[in-house]
Amino acid sequence: MQIEERRALVAPWLEAWLLSMLNTAREAANAHGIPLAVPTLQYIGELETDETSCRYRDVTIQGNPLRVLRDPGPVFVALFQQSTERNALSKRICDLMAPQYYWRSDMGPLDQTPDMWLERTVLIPGMFRYLRALPTLAVDGSADARALAVGIAEQMFSTQRVHVTMIPVAGLRLQGQTTEHAGTRVRPLTPRELGSLGTRYEISDFMDPLSHSSSTFSFETAAIEVRSAINKCDELTDQDVPRRLLLALALLGFEPHGRGLGFIHTEPGVSALGGANRLPMPSHGERRTFDHSMLVKAVDVGHRLPAERDGQARPSQHTACYRFLTAVTRSAAIDAVVDYCIALESILLGGDNQGETSYKFRTRGSWFLASGSDDRLEVARQLGAIYGARSGIVHGSKRMDQSSLSATIKEARALAARAILKCLDTGWPSAKMLDEGVMGARADC
């Protein structure tokens, strides 16, 4: 039987099997007095936030007992017993999928037959995913069963899979629009996703008295999805893309913030991966309008930033990028000043620490970063203030008031971002190139 013929048969059989498991769940729930729909609170609606307050709505909805109740054990027992029984339908499904999928996937324990392997890695996880995703057990689950069945069939008979890292963020005002470019998608979080992130937020979790951000807190309402198509049996090689994208957004002036979790799964069908990675992200920030043109710029900048394991990049390039992103995530203002200054030093000094570093920092930076001759004095003044603040903080010889510290942070972030972006456009300069520019022997970088 040809691959397309097997694919055409598997999808409707999978759909029928999933619907039969829904009936099993209903029968077990009814037999043990478990309601098919359980009243539950869920966060719904738009958030209105400012610096001192937040308003949101809690709505009582009918929930799925498999998600809401602490102990729907009898239902799980019945589902597991039914799903492991070798009935004619599940055997036909495994017989069709095994030749195409089993031997091309990571091998399981050698004592497992293809049928056992597929049941444990595809059918049973897929069944629980389907049932737990339903709003309640009382709904007609035909459409959800059909969609998952088609996805699993695609998963079985395709040679590729899509690796997805989904990052919930605040700080991006999407106005309800989804935008996508070059494997990166930015979209609003769905009500179900908002509910899974937590129906209640404690204001104390988002307020930090040491924060230098002008915004006290906000809520994750958008999702950044980084999507990479890879061969089914391969591992994702470049796992640094989400971090570089967050850095690119920060360099362009956006302030994505939240709990810094990147949730991992694969598509289509039943995910071969799960869990979440920790990503560098501040807990505070301002909210700004984000559209498709901004996504295109961010993806372009992210692709040109040096990857974490890029052996071609100089150490100073990694230091500049790492320190900028670290500064963005700092809650203490004095730490942010030091990190932004180190990012600038990595570019302007590049390891040249022999004598008059403050003078070299100002003169090289004013030539490299100024938009014209009229702007050089102001850039030199800002760089001098940043370097002076950094030295005072590090050596403990200077105490800054909050207003001057806030102004220094703003200037340091803007100049560090301008420096990194210019390096991406014109190349990373050497100390010799910068000195030639200062002396007038080089018109530009």
Q: Indicate if the pLDDT at residue 443 is higher than 70.
A: no
In this predicted structure, what is the pLDDT of residue 79?
A: 79
Which span out of 216-225, 353-362, 375-384 was modeled with the highest average pLDDT?
Answer: 375-384
Q: Indicate if the pLDDT at residue 212 is higher than 60.
A: no
Question: What is the tens place of the pLDDT at every residue in 51-101?
Answer: 444 455 566 667 788 877 766 778 877 777 777 666 677 777 777 777 665
pLDDT band of residue 214 (cuts 50, 70, 90) is: very low
pLDDT band of residue 202 (cuts 50, 70, 90) is: very low
287: left (phi over 0), alpha (psi -120 to 50) or beta: beta
Amino acid at the residue 314: R
In this predicted structure, what is the pLDDT of residue 107?
A: 45
For a pLDDT cut of 70, what percent of the chain falls above it? 82
Average pLDDT score, the chain? 82
Q: Indicate if the pLDDT at residue 106 is higher than 90.
A: no
In this predicted structure, what is the pLDDT of residue 8?
A: 83
State the average pLDDT over residues 255-279.
Answer: 87
Q: Positive or negative, the Cα torsion across 249, 331, 274, 244?
A: positive
Q: Which of 129-143, 191-205, 229-243 has the lowest mean pLDDT?
A: 191-205
| 190/364: higher pLDDT | 364
Residue 264 dihedral angles phi and psi, to the nearest 5°: -110, 135
CB atoms within 10 A of CB 180: 14
Question: What is the tens place of the pLDDT at every residue in 359-379?
Answer: 999 999 999 999 887 889 999
Q: Which of 40-49, 75-84, 189-198, 247-256 has the lowest mean pLDDT?
A: 40-49
pLDDT band of residue 41 (cuts 50, 70, 90) is: low
State the average pLDDT over residues 422-445.
Answer: 84
Let me know: does 17 contact 11? Beta carbons within 8 Å.
no
Q: How far apart are CA 347 and CA 305, in angstroms?
A: 14
Question: What is the tens place of the pLDDT at every residue in 290-312?
Answer: 999 999 999 999 999 998 877 77
In this predicted structure, what is the pLDDT of residue 53?
A: 44
3-state secondary structure of 236: coil
In this predicted structure, what is the pLDDT of residue 101?
A: 52
DSSP string, 26-84: HHHHHHTT--SSEEEEEEEEEEEE-SS-EEEEEEEEEE-HHHH-S--HHHHHHHHHHHH
In this predicted structure, what is the pLDDT of residue 346?
A: 94
State the average pLDDT over residues 380-409.
Answer: 85
> Among 431, 442, 420, 440, which Cα is nearest to 361's?
431
In this predicted structure, what is the pLDDT of residue 259?
A: 87
In this predicted structure, what is the pLDDT of residue 199?
A: 40
pLDDT band of residue 117 (cuts 50, 70, 90) is: confident
Let me know: does 285 contact 257? Beta carbons within 8 Å.
yes
In this predicted structure, what is the pLDDT of residue 383?
A: 95
In this predicted structure, what is the pLDDT of residue 377?
A: 92
User: Alpha carbon of 32 to those of 73, 77, 113, 122: distances in Å?
Assistant: 10, 12, 35, 28
In this predicted structure, what is the pLDDT of residue 340?
A: 96
Q: Indicate if the pLDDT at residue 175 is higher than 90.
A: no
The model's pTM is 0.81
pLDDT band of residue 157 (cuts 50, 70, 90) is: confident
User: Alpha carbon of 380 to those of 135, 154, 360, 383, 406: distances in Å?
Assistant: 60, 59, 10, 5, 19
